[in-house]
Amino acid sequence: MGRISEWFRRERRQPVRVIATALAERDDHLLLVQLARGPFAGFWLLPSATVEQGTVVDTVQALAPQRVGGTFHDPQLLSVVEEPRLQMLILRFVFAVAVEEPLQTPEDIEIARAVWFARTAVRDVLAERDVVPNLGVMSLLRSWVEGIALRPLELLTEDALCPCGSGYRFPGCCGWESARSPGRG
């Protein structure tokens, strides 16, 4: 992680956050976790963690017991999503993972539960805006729902259309400037 973030800090002159995200599928269902605390309590998201030490692969494997109460096997890099975010660049490394069953209670007290969702249920969660308002996570969920293959490198822009399907731009809809974002509006 250090080399990547240092290169971006030096070349782009902006802070970088590297995130490992797990895309776990089983029988046409996707694994999501629900937040238990904080301003987004009750919202859903993909299992993810900031890379603080070690590699992105180490981080994606370590987040399994913490975030979903299980074990991830055979992580395969699917995509790197570049997400601009108010004076910061987020690099989200998305891994396809296999999940060992059964799932237990997640170790992380910030996570209420991990649940397998059918495509129609993920579409409903997006439409209801019950997903953490993050352009990268919402875009990944929209791609999965629509059956769109992830590109090796995805560049998202600050003025992208909101993945919730509203037709509005992300910052004013579900994003940073919306009334649904804590501390905003």
Q: Which pLDDT value is given to residue 53?
A: 87
pTM across the whole model:
0.83
Fold type of domain 2-155? Nucleoside Triphosphate Pyrophosphohydrolase (3.90.79)
Residue of 160, 166, 115 whose CA lies nearest to 139: 160
Using one digit for the tens of pLDDT, what is the confidence trace for 28-73? 999 999 999 999 999 999 999 999 888 899 999 999 999 999 999 9
Asked if 114 and 68 count as a contact pair (C-beta separation under 8 A), the reply is yes
Using one digit for the tens of pLDDT, what is the confidence trace for 116-150? 999 999 999 998 888 888 888 888 999 999 999 88
- Name every residue whose Cβ is closer than 8 Å to that of residue 139 and which is 6 or more positions away in sequence: 81, 154, 156, 160, 163
Q: And the tokens for 106?
A: 């997640």
- Name every residue whose Cβ is closer than 8 Å to that of residue 177 and which is 6 or more positions away in sequence: 171, 184
